[in-house]
Amino acid sequence: ANRHIVTLVDFGFVELNGKKLIAASFQDITERKQAEADMCHDAEADKLMSIISGQLLGIDVAGAISGALRNIGIYFNVDRVSVIPLLESEESWMKAHWSSIPADAQQNSVAANPLASVRWIEQQLAESRSVILNSMDDLPPGTGLDRDILENLGIRSLLATPVQSQG
């Protein structure tokens, strides 16, 4: 089998019995060169991981979420867009929100809200049902608190759909 060997050659001139000769020595440095290449590769990998880590540490997660929701709102030409992943706790949910309405500007963030205030909507989503309200009149009887909260937020119609993820 053919094998590539990296060698270090050292040569010089010597005189032996009145004759000028060239003396050479060969040293197999294949393993050393492979170790150097491995160290360079490791250094490049470390540099890449450092860059990625720096980017992740510097990211404004709330800003990124708000920006994505803003783009969705503009695309669908709606006043508000929210992502509401349910948390393990039965008492609260996390809300990522964007609104084009100036009065809502302070709410363009990630905030926790009491789940009890939107019990009927939360129940529908937990049962993997979408909620489609063309108007608040589409809310079923007995959901007056949900209606009051939504109307106080200026919501006139609503589409909420459950999205499940793993991990």
> By percentage, how much of the chain surpasses pLDDT 90?
10
d(CA 44, CA 28) in angstroms, rounded, equals 26
Taking residue 125's Cβ as centre, other Cβ atoms within 10 Å add up to: 19
* pLDDT-based confidence at residue 81 (cuts at 50, 70, 90): confident
pTM over 0.85: no
Cβ-based neighbours of 11, under 8 Å, separated by 6 or more? 22, 23, 24, 25
* pLDDT-based confidence at residue 4 (cuts at 50, 70, 90): confident
Question: What are the tens digits of pLDDT across the range 18-30?
Answer: 999 999 898 999 9
d(CA 99, CA 103) in angstroms, rounded, equals 9
The encoded tokens of residue 54 equal 């720096």
List Cβ<8 Å contacts ≥24 apart for 143-148: 145/117, 145/119, 146/117, 146/118, 146/119, 146/120, 146/121
Q: Give yes or no for residue 64 having a pLDDT over 50.
A: yes
Q: What's the pLDDT at 98? A: 64
Element (H, E) at 26: strand 19-28
Residue that wins the pLDDT comparison between 96 and 121: 121
Q: What's the pLDDT at 140? A: 92
Q: Are 27 and 6 in contact (CB under 8 A)?
A: no
Question: What are the tens digits of pLDDT across the range 104-135?
Answer: 544 544 444 444 467 888 788 778 888 888 88
